[in-house]
Structure 1
Amino acid sequence: MQLTIHQIDAFTHALFKGNYAAVIPLESWLDDDLMLNIGAENNVSETAFTCRQTDGCFAIRWFSPLMEIDFCGHATLAAAYVLCEEHNVSQIRFIADAVGELIVIKNNDGSFAMTFPKQVPVEVKNPPQALLNGLSIQPIKVLKNRQAYFAVYESAKQVESLNTDSPLLKTLAPHDVVATAPSDEYDFVSRYFWPASGGDEDYVTGSIHTGLAPYWAKLLEKTQLTAYQASSRGGHIQCEVGESTVTLTGHAVRYLKGTIYL
């Protein structure tokens, strides 16, 4: 069996920036163990598998090198980049078990707008000690949604200089950790740590912005925000917060197209 594999850098205009994802379009689903093995072999933060449905939408599943992930924003952007190019369309409708329908639209400037359900975090009165001990700088507030703990800081400089203890943060599974703060250059910045699910730090995490954007939108009293994920590769995300959805917009560039031999 031969499968076509694409590797796309998401949330960036430039190669070697943003977050990389592998995309593998399928005619029918592979065995779960095989997809897990492919995700581990690719060893990128996520591998997205898509499978076209009879109604024209695409089912999508995401695999980190360690496990299947129930929601991944940057790999969705990467998959939309590939499918829009392959099918010569400007809109892709995805369906995923954990988050339902996801609509991605390719804009005239080449960016992709992805509309996701909100995942608003709520404040945690008594944060886990493993979280506090696992962060070199203590946050001023901690929140939580279904995906992660949110460590809120006063300044972008604190987020950028933050060190973490991955073994301690790993004990928070299934929750990951995002550190965030307001910024002079952007509306907010963040860094994302996920030792239980994929690696020490993720480069750009689209999914967590469905929680970050509503939080900062309420605090800053605005519905359109600019965000920067301050990892070593860095990534830019435009966020628009609606009543029940968050639209994330970003660019993507192709790194490779190849063949998997099974």
Structure 2
Amino acid sequence: MQLTIHQIDAFANELFKGNYAAVIPLESWLSDDLMLKIGAENNVSETAFTCQQDDGSFVIRWFSPLMEIDFCGHATLAAAYVLCEEHNVSKIRFIADAVGELIVNKNVDGSFAMTFPKQVPSEADNIPKELFNSLSIQPFKVLKNQQAYFVVYKNEQDVINLKTDSNLLKTLYPLDVVATAKSTEYDFISRYFWPASGGDEDYVTGSIHTGLAPYWAQQLGKTTLSAYQASSRGGHLLCEVGDTTVTLTGHAARYLKGTIYI
């Protein structure tokens, strides 16, 4: 069996920036075990598998090197980049079990606008001591949603300087941790840590911005925000907050197209 594989740098308009994802369009589904093995072999933060349905939509599933992931924004952008190119369209409708319908539109400037359900964080109760012990700098506020703990800092330099203990963070599974603060150059910055699910630090995490953007929209009194994920590769996102959705816009760049032999 031969499968076509694409590797795309998402939330970047040049190579070696943003977050990389593998994309494998399928004609029919592989077994879960095989997709997990492919995700581990690829060893990028996520591998997205897509399969087109009779109505033209695409079911999408995401695998980290360790497990299947409920929701991944940057690999959705990467998949949209590939499918818009292959099918010569400017709109893709994805279906995912955990989050429902995901609409991606390709804009005239080549960027992609992805509309996702809001995942608003709320004040966290009964915060595990392991969370505080895992952080080299203590936050002034802790929130959480179904994906992660949000540790909020008053100074963006604290987010940049933050060091974490991955072994302690793993004990928080299934929740990951995102650190965030108001920014001078952007509206807000963040860093995302997920050692139990994929890796110590993710380069750019689209899904967490469905929680970050509504929080900062409320704090800053605006619905259109500029965000930067301050990882070693870095990535910029434009966020638009609606009543029930968050639209994330970013660019992508192709790194490779190849063949998997199984």
Partner of 2:234: 234
Partner of 2:182: 182
Distance in 2, Cα, partners of 1:116 & 1:128: 29
Please list every run of 5 or more consecutive structure 2 residues that lacks an aligned counterpart in the other structure: none
Pairwise CA distance, 1:70: 0.5
Distance in 1, Cα, partners of 2:77 & 2:246: 14
Instruction: Give the letter aligned to residue 87 of structure 1.
Output: H
Partner of 2:216: 216
Please list every run of 5 or more consecutive structure 1 residues that lacks an aligned counterpart in the other structure: none
After superposition, the C-alpha distances for 1:121-175 in whole angstroms (9 at most, x for unaligned) are 0011432100000000000000000000000001110000000000000000000
Partner of 2:74: 74
Partner of 1:154: 154
Q: Does 1:33 align with 2:27?
A: no
Q: What does 1:189-204 align with in structure 2 at a 5 Å threshold?
A: 189-204=189-204
Q: What does 1:156-171 align with in structure 2 at a 5 Å threshold?
A: 156-171=156-171
Distance in 1, Cα, partners of 2:255 & 2:218: 37
> TM-score, structure 2 length as denominator?
1.00
Instruction: Give the letter aligned to residue 72 of structure 2.
Output: C
SS at 1:256's partner residue? strand
SS at 2:205's partner residue? coil
Distance in 1, Cα, partners of 2:124 & 2:159: 19
Distance in 2, Cα, partners of 1:155 & 1:78: 32
Partner of 2:126: 126
Q: What does 1:55-70 align with in structure 2 at a 5 Å threshold?
A: 55-70=55-70
Once the two structures are aligned, what percentage of the paired residues are identical? 82
Pairwise CA distance, 1:91: 0.1
Distance in 2, Cα, partners of 1:176 & 1:185: 26
Instruction: Give the letter aligned to residue 213 of structure 1.
Output: A
